[in-house]
C-alpha cells in the first residue's frame, strides 16, 4: 500500500528541516559569516525560512505550549517595561546631556520618547488585561 500524499509531505518537511538545521550548524563551522554580502543575505533568508518548517514538523505538547505562552506574555511585559523606561528616563537624559542640540532636534527626540513610552505602557496595559499565556488557540491573540 502506498503512503498518502499527506504522509509524504510530512516526511518531506522533516527532511527539509533536518537539512536546514545541518546547513546552519555546519555553516558556522565553515565561516559563512566571512563571506560576501549576498552569501550573508542568503544565509539570513534561510534562517528565516527555518521557522515555518519547524512549526510544521514540531508540535509542542500542551504543557510546553503553555510554558511558551507564559514566556511570550513575559516578553510582552518586559518589552513594555523597557520601552516605558527608555521613553520616560532615557529621552530626557539624552536631551539634557547632548550638547548643542537644536530646538527641533530636541522636540523630535522628546516626541519619539513619548511614542516609545506610550507603546510600552500599552503593552503593559494589554498584559494586565490578559493575565494568561499567549497561545495560538487563545481568543485574545490580536485583540486589544
What mean pLDDT comes out for the span 18-41? 64
The number of CA neighbours under 13 Å toward the Cβ of 79 is 11
118 and 92 inside one domain: yes
Q: pTM for this structure?
A: 0.57
Q: Is residue 134 part of a domain?
A: no
Region of poorest pLDDT, from 22-26, 48-52, 125-129: 22-26
What pLDDT, in 10s, does the model give residues 53-100?
666 666 777 788 888 888 888 999 999 999 999 888 888 888 888 788
121 and 91 inside one domain: yes
Out of 9-18, 83-92, 94-103, 135-144, the most confident range is: 83-92
Structural domain boundaries enclosing 79: 62-129
Q: How far is CA 10 from the centre of its chain?
A: 26
Q: Is residue 120 part of a domain?
A: yes
Q: Among residues 37, 57, 77, which one ends one of the domains?
A: 57
The answer, yes or no, to whether residue 141 has pLDDT greater than 80, is: no
66 and 34 inside one domain: no
Amino acid at each position: 500500500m502506498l503512503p498518502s500524499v499527506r504522509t509524504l509531505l510530512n516526511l518531506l518537511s522533516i527532511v527539509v528541516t533536518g537539512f536546514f538545521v545541518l546547513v546552519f550548524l555546519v555553516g558556522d563551522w565553515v565561516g559563512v559569516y566571512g563571506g560576501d554580502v549576498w552569501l550573508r543575505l542568503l544565509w539570513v533568508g534561510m534562517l528565516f525560512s527555518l521557522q515555518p518548517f519547524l512549526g510544521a514538523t514540531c508540535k509542542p505538547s500542551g504543557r510546553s505550549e503553555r510554558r511558551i505562552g507564559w514566556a511570550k506574555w513575559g516578553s510582552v511585559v518586559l518589552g513594555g517595561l523597557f520601552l516605558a523606561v527608555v521613553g520616560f528616563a532615557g529621552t530626557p537624559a539624552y536631551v539634557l546631556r547632548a550638547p548643542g542640540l537644536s530646538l527641533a532636534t530636541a522636540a523630535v527626540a522628546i516626541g519619539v520618547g513619548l511614542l516609545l513610552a506610550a507603546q510600552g505602557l500599552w503593552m503593559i496595559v494589554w498584559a494586565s488585561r490578559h493575565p494568561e499565556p499567549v497561545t495560538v488557540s487563545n481568543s485574545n491573540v490580536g485583540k486589544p
